[in-house]
Each structure stands twice: as C-alpha cells, then as structure tokens.
Amino acid sequence: MQNPFSARLVTKATGDPLKSANLYKRFLQIGAGEIPVSAKTFSSCALAAASSTTGARIQYNSRPPYLQFCYDFNMKAVLDTPPEGARPGVQHVTVDAGHAGQRLDNFLLTALKGVPRTHVYRLLRKGEVRVNKGRSKPDYRLKEGDVVRLPPVRRAESSGKNLAAVAAASGRLDWLLERVVYEDEQLLVIDKPSGLAVHGGSGVSVGLIEALRELRPHTPFLELAHRLDRDTSGCLLIAKSRPALMHLHDLLREGGLDKRYLALVTGPWRGGSRHVDAALEATRPQSGERRVEVDEEGKESASDFTPREKFTDTALVEVHLLTGRMHQARVHAAHIGHPIAGDDKYGDRDFNQRMKRQGLARLFLHAARLEFRHPLGGRKMRIEAALPIELERVLENLRAKPGVTSPA
C-alpha cells in the first residue's frame, strides 16, 4: 500500500545548527526528491507553531491532498500553500467595483492576509504600497480602476485556516450550515452557538467566519458585519458582498441595525424598563486580560433593559443595544446592579453558583433578534433565533419554583 504521507526538500539549510535534523540528513544522504514519512512525523509537523523565515524548508503532502505545508528546522511550520509562494514578487492589483470605497488599510489587511497589522502600516509609512504609482494614506478610499502596488512580503498564514480546511473536508463542520436562519444573494444570518468565536485570534485557532469560508468555497466574499462575544449565542449577520458590508456598517453607525438580546440577570428586578447611558472604555490590566469599564472619558454607550419575566431572585430581560461597544450588555447590566448569569468576567460569583444549580453551564446572553433595512431594495428585515434549549431548560427550572410574577 502506498504511504499516504510524503515530504520533499524545498530549500536547503544555510546555517550549521540546522544540519543536525534527522529528516534533513536523510535528504542529504539519499538525495531523493521525495521520500515517505511516517504519520507520526506528518501529524507532529501539522501541530507545530506557525511562521518561520529561515532554515531548511521541507514541504509535506498528504494523499489525498487535504493538507500541504512547509516545515523547517528551527522546528516551526510555515503554513503557506504553495510554500514557494510564501514571498511573492511585486504584485499590481486593479481595484474592482466590489472594493471601491474601501479604505486602503482595510483592503491591505485582506489582500496581505498573514502579514501582521503593524507591518502593513509600516509598509504604508515607508511608501512600499503605492496607489496609481503614488504614496497614499491608510484612510484613502479606493476607486474602481485604481492600481495598488503590493510589495513582496512573507506571509505566515494562521494555522486556523488550515485546520478549518481539514475539518471542512472531513465533514466535521457540516453542522454549522444547519444553523443558517436566513440567506439571500447579499447577506446571511447564522445562529451562532455559545463557545464558538466569530473569528480566529489569540488562543483561538478556528472561528466561525474561517469555518464558513471553507464550507462555502464558491462564495467569493464572506465578511462579518458585526461581532458577538465568544460565549454569546444567536443572530450573527454576515455580508456576501462589499456593497452589502458597507451598507450594513452605515446602518450600525447610524443606529439603523436594531439588536435585541435576551439575558438572565440577578434580581429581584423592581419596576419596569431602565435606560442605561454610561460611557465605556476598554482596558488591559497587567494580567493582560482585556476588560471594559464604565468611564466618563470612554466611548458613548447606551442600552435599554426591559423585564420579560420576573422570578424571586432573578429576571429574564430583553436588552436593546443602542450602540455596539465590546461587552456592552454585560458591563451595563453589572453597572446597574444586575449582572448577567454565568458571566465569569463581570458577574456575581454567588449568583453564578446558584444558577449552576438550576442547570446553567454558560453565559445566559442570546442575540434573539435583528431588525434592519435590506441593503438591496431597502425592505424591512426581522430575523430571529430561538432561545437555545439549554437556556430554555434553566427557565423551566425557575418557573417550577414559586415566586414567578409578570413584568410590571
């Protein structure tokens, strides 16, 4: 039976310390263009950390070709496909109608995926990126027909893209497509499960958007119109074209995207609706964990809380976010003395423990409804995602106890 894994030498090592690697020595000894490798060697390389720029480079292939990557002998993987294209020459890209109106820096962050953000801005400052042969600022709005010069850069693609590709090929992500609650030619709404990040990042290999792109390889454009916290479930809006994305961003800035959440908060809740107008500021303490705090010098933020069902020591409320700040619902709820159940960052520990005894094993925050004008034609859209069954069960347990009252 043919070995399903193989490796071939791409470039030779230039530094003496690298020549002690066993696989590299095998290449030198037998002079083979391609040699079989064990599944253990292949999988250990696949799990290696991303990005590298020096040393002997070996391309690994699986048959069928679900995965292809480079491995060099400073013991890190270069997740380039193909590896020879990791540092292409100068490219000239003509802006099409779909990218017209986009800021130059945002265009570059997409066109130069795998290049750190700081390096992209350095390229702009140094004038290595040109538009129509001239220097341009990051906030320049591209026009159809503009020619953008992309300099040669080394790209270290995140391992998440490759992991998502493998998972999609194996069918392990098919369940995600079953959570699409609305779709047309311009946009898509998916009922995001709790625990899944919307995109890959620090400590997260694969996010929802990377997985969706692998599941929809023939959909040329898929971008998040807004975000949900990793532990929040519910309606997530995704644009399928650049004009649709720009329209949705305009709606967000102008307050035209109505977002309604359901949250279980500590009680008792007295009275009716409450309006919270408290500026928020994101901070990063010495621990490195990012937090959001109420701060007069922060960004303007406003939320409305309306009780939907009251219990003895808790309440189910609808949260209407009038602005879209990070962790806004959670921080505003804590600010008025009603933190959300299951919130380990801003919540009440004793309350969280009581809710665990009611069966709660996650943050009780769900993006239940979106209302907005469609980017094509302007018809009014109302899209809902039902409360997940694990949260419904918590409410059923609370209703089984005496003390349930109707909202005031």
Task: Report the CATH number that the domain containing residue 169 is assigned in CATH.
Answer: 3.30.2350.10
How, if at all, do strands 5-11 and 35-36 pair?
Answer: antiparallel
Catalytic residue list contains 229: yes
State the pLDDT confidence band at 261, using cuts at 50, 70 and 90. very high
Asked if residue 226 and residue 172 are part of one domain, the reply reads yes
Closest C-alpha to 318, from 401, 238, 258: 258
Mean of the pLDDT values across residues 376-388? 92
Asked if residue 328 and residue 223 are part of one domain, the reply reads no
Distance CA 360, CA 263 (A): 12
Residue range 277-307, pLDDT digits in tens:
999 998 876 556 788 999 988 999 999 999 9
User: For residue 49, what pLDDT is reported?
Assistant: 26
Positive or negative, the CA dihedral 289, 294, 299, 300 is positive
Asked, as a colleague might, if the bond just before 268 is cis with ω within 30 of 0, I would say yes
pLDDT at 56 over 50: no
The domain total for the chain is 4
Mean of the pLDDT values across residues 383-395? 94
Asked if residue 273 and residue 373 are part of one domain, the reply reads yes
Residue range 147-184, pLDDT digits in tens:
999 988 865 544 445 555 555 555 667 788 889 999 99
Asked if residue 395 and residue 262 are part of one domain, the reply reads yes
Distance CA 261, CA 263 (A): 6
pLDDT at 87 over 90: no
Asked if residue 137 and residue 56 are part of one domain, the reply reads no
To 10 degrees, the CA torsion angle through 157, 49, 22, 62? -50
- From 52, 68, 85, give the residue that closes a domain: 85
Asked if residue 208 and residue 111 are part of one domain, the reply reads no
Asked if residue 71 and residue 24 are part of one domain, the reply reads yes
How, if at all, do strands 365-373 and 233-239 pair?
Answer: parallel
Asked if residue 186 and residue 108 are part of one domain, the reply reads no
Task: State percent of the chain over pLDDT 90.
Answer: 42
Residue range 328-361, pLDDT digits in tens:
999 999 999 999 999 999 999 999 999 999 999 9
User: For residue 86, what pLDDT is reported?
Assistant: 40
Mean of the pLDDT values across residues 206-235? 88
Mean of the pLDDT values across residues 82-101? 68
- From 150, 172, 195, give the residue that closes a domain: 150
User: For residue 42, what pLDDT is reported?
Assistant: 46
Query: For residue 18, is it within any domain?
Result: yes
Mean of the pLDDT values across residues 354-372? 94
User: For residue 19, what pLDDT is reported?
Assistant: 36
Asked if residue 386 and residue 282 are part of one domain, the reply reads yes
Distance CA 303, CA 277 (A): 7
β-partners of residue 384 are 369
Asked if residue 376 and residue 317 are part of one domain, the reply reads yes
Q: What's the number of CA atoms in the CB half-sphere (13 Å) around residue 13?
A: 20
- 220: DSSP letter: -
The total number of residues shown for the chain amounts to 408
Distance CA 215, CA 176 (A): 9
Which region among 10-14, 87-91, 249-253, 333-337 has the lowest average model confidence (pLDDT)?
10-14
Mean of the pLDDT values across residues 43-69? 41
Asked, as a colleague might, if the bond just before 285 is cis with ω within 30 of 0, I would say no
Asked if residue 274 and residue 382 are part of one domain, the reply reads yes
State the pLDDT confidence band at 68, using cuts at 50, 70 and 90. very low
Residue range 103-156, pLDDT digits in tens:
898 888 878 876 777 888 889 999 999 999 999 999 999 998 899 999 888 655
What range does the domain containing 309 cover?
A: 257-399
State the pLDDT confidence band at 406, using cuts at 50, 70 and 90. low
User: For residue 23, what pLDDT is reported?
Assistant: 52
User: For residue 364, what pLDDT is reported?
Assistant: 97
Of the two residues 340 and 48, the one the predictor is more confident about is 340
Asked if residue 192 and residue 107 are part of one domain, the reply reads no
Identified catalytic residue from 146, 229, 231, 348: 229
- Per-residue H/E/C for 45-77: HHCCCECCCCCCEEEEEECCCCCEEEEECCCEE
Asked, as a colleague might, if the bond just before 193 is cis with ω within 30 of 0, I would say no
On average, the pLDDT of the chain sits at 77
Asked, as a colleague might, if the bond just before 64 is cis with ω within 30 of 0, I would say yes
User: For residue 392, what pLDDT is reported?
Assistant: 94
Distance CA 174, CA 204 (A): 20
User: For residue 43, what pLDDT is reported?
Assistant: 45
User: For residue 73, what pLDDT is reported?
Assistant: 35
State the pLDDT confidence band at 403, using cuts at 50, 70 and 90. low
Query: For residue 359, is it within any domain?
Result: yes
> In degrees rounded to 5, what are phi and psi of residue 370?
-125, 135
- From 239, 269, 289, give the residue that closes a domain: 239
Maximum CA extent, the chain: 82
Contacts of 78 (CB under 8 A, 6+ apart): 50, 51, 52, 57, 69, 70, 71, 72, 86, 156
Q: What's the number of CA atoms in the CB half-sphere (13 Å) around residue 398?
A: 26
